[in-house]
Chain A
């Protein structure tokens, strides 16, 4: 595989990652969101592996394998079990309507490209063109967290944001050192468990997982 082809494939994968981000932003069904999140993880894993191959950095294979195991299988499965056990309503309610959300998302993508333009000029890495996509994924992840009402969708948004960060790390500097990657992966896994435990407790104290009901926690003057 030549470097040119690798860049092409990588760009396609970046586009797919961005597409799944938008998919997460517009998806109304919660299982659909989970599936999209798993796909995003798969693209990310593939992209990491390709970068590792072209750049000759073998520790990126381990990262790719970890991503595959965690983000494609483990986390979606955990969330699926969670949703199933807690009998969460399958519909996702959003605060802002979907076309507006998409327009904001597009604005964020353009903003990311504008922002990373000087870096693209300077960088010599083969992955340099994907940095804008990575940044956009981070911001769209944040946007998902802002526009959704349910606690579970917040988690998915948060994980998408983390995917963006991971992608940014591979595209900007060929990934973080392996030790850091392992640590982050472990953190994500533990975070998922903690979310699960918290959801149980939140539901027992509030009888729902709506963020609206948690506004009661605010101290009144």
Chain B
């Protein structure tokens, strides 16, 4: 018996999700068993997808399949190569963890409302993402893309009784569709040059690969497609939907959207820029690099200012997408200048960060969901001391925080370290602008990494350490087994990817080989699996296992020292410096922790601070209590979106004058149109 090919397995994975989406409404009357059955099959499908993606990347063999459905003359083309296999692995891996987590989380949603629609759209969402990765023609790609977008729209507005969720979902749908339109236009340009518009043949990626496109049109197509994909990926200034949609969506959906859907958008950019058409101008890479830098720095700056945990994580996703874009931009620059090995290095950094970000951001969103589940609170100013209540969640959340802060031995460190290695090599690039840009870019990347660490110190410190800041006693409980299992798995994966980077890079070597014609495997594994040497040992090397071993030994030793005998750890009341009457609200909190950075970078943000006396009858000098309020607004919104929306409303207001409800006027429009057409025909 021969094993089915990876593409067949991948196709059946998507099929299972679609079938589950169709079948779920039949089980609507028995919600508890619906959740069990749906997520059981989801887990099975994800394991199948994981096998398909993993094996295709391992072998590097591309496979194609043509489905006999679709438009006449344009059937659906499917293809699974190393690149789509890599993203398939990301999707299935996080999908697996989130599906395990969802057993518990969705049961919690059941208290408030039936979850049938949730299950349906969850399955469609997964199917959509997987099909996007498999699509090998523009038509099927767009169908899957829309399936992904629309089903995630319904997931965002799942709790549709809240105005906030509906508004967030609308903004998301709007930006996603503007993006989809520009992607469609880009595909149209490519298809036109591939085979003309007489036949549909031009819409296959195969035809686009061999098309000869004039430079200017290639640039237009790239910019259009980049804009569309970047809108989905949340690159500044198209990121405004992210901090709205992520808090509104249920947490497992946020985990998938942030962890996987943004990566699918990045897959689109990589597929287009490295596979479908050659990079014909250096500024493409420069554009991607610059927007990446802006996203990384501004994203994390906004993240630091947030008090809503999920909003903070959303902005942190903007930052991480920025980091991915930085490496991607570098890879494009290297590729344009035919520096294939360096392009492979930068691309590896970028893709590795995709994988890592999927896992740790998925983990963090699952953690946020667990906190939300047990405290019913998203505002960090009303949390605190949860480490005593939810020790396991605290531990896995810490792993996520360390990973996102790019600290060894977790996975975030490896990919950012690789990105720095790529930056340090960029002095070989020709051109004054690039020479100037690369040290500046490296500095900004370092700044973003440092602020990211600060941001997650804040999150962990405020949420889990200290004491409960909310009303009354803390009622939080440790979450259920399924949710913890999902988070533990993700945390374990984060650690494994951080400890064994050499093996991972060896595994994904086929991807860079396919796209840049060079691989890191030979140089990276030159010193065996223990040492990662991306370029050469003389330049830089990192040993995940050794670092992990040292850290583990130190932690173990510290634990032994403090817990070996009784009485070393003593618990007592907080020292109040001689001023009695301390309350829990006097702790350092999220806003105060971010204050220094708010002062330093204040000019980049819109900060509205107000201090109002509580008792208006007394003179200002003799007040006992004040109300302090700080609002940090997104400047991008006011620069790009506010004028745009105002213009649209202005036009709409004036256009309604055409509609005055009088039949004679409408008839006159017909007459005038008729005359004008007759005159100018």
Q: Are B664 and A146 in contact (CB under 8 A)?
A: yes
Assuming A142-B667, A145-B664, is B674 touching A221 (CB within 8 A)? Answer: no
Instruction: Let me know if B656 is at the binding interface, CB within 8 A.
Output: yes
- Beta-carbon nearest neighbor of B675 in chain A: A111
Interface residues as binary, B236-271 with A (CB distance below 8 Å gives 1, 0 otherwise) = 000000000000000000000000000000000000
Instruction: Let me know if B432 is at the binding interface, CB within 8 A.
Output: no
Instruction: Let me know if A67 is at the binding interface, CB within 8 A.
Output: no
Q: Which of A143, A145, A212, A214 has the most CB of B within 10 A?
A: A145
Q: Are A211 and B674 in contact (CB under 8 A)?
A: no
- CB within 8 Å of A: which of B653-681? 656, 659-664, 667-668, 670-671, 674-675, 678-679
Instruction: Let me know if A179 is at the binding interface, CB within 8 A.
Output: no
Q: Are B656 and A221 in contact (CB under 8 A)?
A: yes
What's the Cα separation between A115 and B659 when bound, in Å? Answer: 30
What's the Cα separation between A160 and B664 when bound, in Å? Answer: 16
* Chain B proximity of A55: nearest CB distance (Å): 27
What B residues does A216 contact at CB under 8 A?
661
What A residues does B667 contact at CB under 8 A?
142, 145-146
Q: Which of A95, A143, A146 has the most CB of B within 10 A?
A: A146
What's the Cα separation between A215 and B663 when bound, in Å? Answer: 8
Assuming A111-B675, A142-B670, is B664 touching A147 (CB within 8 A)? Answer: yes
Q: Are B675 and A218 in contact (CB under 8 A)?
A: no
What A residues does B659 contact at CB under 8 A?
218
What A residues does B668 contact at CB under 8 A?
146
Say what secondary structure dominates the interface of chain B: helix
- CB within 8 Å of A: which of B631-664? 656, 659-664
With an 8 Å Cβ cutoff, the count of chain B residues facing the other chain is: 15
What's the Cα separation between A193 and B64 when bound, in Å? Answer: 62
What's the Cα separation between A215 and B662 when bound, in Å? Answer: 6
Instruction: Let me know if A21 is at the binding interface, CB within 8 A.
Output: no
Assuming A115-B678, A221-B656, is B671 touching A211 (CB within 8 A)? Answer: no
* Chain A proximity of B196: nearest CB distance (Å): 35
Interface residues as binary, A197-221 with B (CB distance below 8 Å gives 1, 0 otherwise) = 0000000000000011011111001
Interface residues as binary, A133-156 with B (CB distance below 8 Å gives 1, 0 otherwise) = 000000100110111000000100
* Chain B proximity of A43: nearest CB distance (Å): 24
Q: Are B661 and A139 in contact (CB under 8 A)?
A: no
Q: Are A211 and B660 in contact (CB under 8 A)?
A: no
* Chain A proximity of B82: nearest CB distance (Å): 54
What B residues does A142 contact at CB under 8 A?
667, 670-671, 674
Which residue in A111, A211, A221 is a CB contact (below 8 Å) of B664?
A: A211
* Chain A proximity of B16: nearest CB distance (Å): 46
What B residues does A146 contact at CB under 8 A?
664, 667-668, 671
* Chain A proximity of B678: nearest CB distance (Å): 6
What B residues does A139 contact at CB under 8 A?
671, 674-675
Interface residues as binary, A86-112 with B (CB distance below 8 Å gives 1, 0 otherwise) = 000000000100000000000000010
What B residues does A215 contact at CB under 8 A?
660-662
What's the Cα separation between A111 and B675 when bound, in Å? Answer: 9
- Beta-carbon nearest neighbor of A216 in chain B: B661
* Chain B proximity of A48: nearest CB distance (Å): 25
- Beta-carbon nearest neighbor of A221 in chain B: B656
Assuming A139-B671, A146-B668, A146-B671, is B662 touching A211 (CB within 8 A)? Answer: yes
What's the Cα separation between A212 and B661 when bound, in Å? Answer: 9
What B residues does A145 contact at CB under 8 A?
664, 667
* Chain A proximity of B512: nearest CB distance (Å): 56
What A residues does B678 contact at CB under 8 A?
115
What's the Cα separation between A189 and B662 when bound, in Å? Answer: 26
What A residues does B664 contact at CB under 8 A?
95, 145-147, 211
What B residues does A111 contact at CB under 8 A?
675
What's the Cα separation between A143 and B672 when bound, in Å? Answer: 11
What's the Cα separation between A214 and B674 when bound, in Å? Answer: 25
What B residues does A218 contact at CB under 8 A?
659-661
What A residues does B679 contact at CB under 8 A?
115
What's the Cα separation between A151 and B300 when bound, in Å? Answer: 66
* Chain A proximity of B23: nearest CB distance (Å): 41
Q: Are B674 and A154 in contact (CB under 8 A)?
A: no
10 closest residue pairs by CB, A with B: A218-B661, A215-B661, A146-B667, A142-B671, A146-B664, A145-B667, A146-B668, A211-B663, A115-B678, A215-B662
**B residues engaging A (CB < 8 A)?**
656, 659-664, 667-668, 670-671, 674-675, 678-679
13 contacts between A and B (CB under 8 A): A111-B675, A139-B671, A139-B674, A139-B675, A142-B674, A146-B667, A146-B668, A214-B663, A215-B660, A215-B662, A216-B661, A218-B660, A218-B661
A115-B678, A142-B671 are known; give 20 further A-B pairs, CB within 8 A. A115-B679, A139-B674, A139-B675, A142-B667, A142-B670, A142-B674, A146-B664, A146-B667, A146-B668, A146-B671, A154-B663, A211-B662, A211-B663, A215-B660, A215-B661, A215-B662, A217-B661, A218-B659, A218-B661, A221-B656
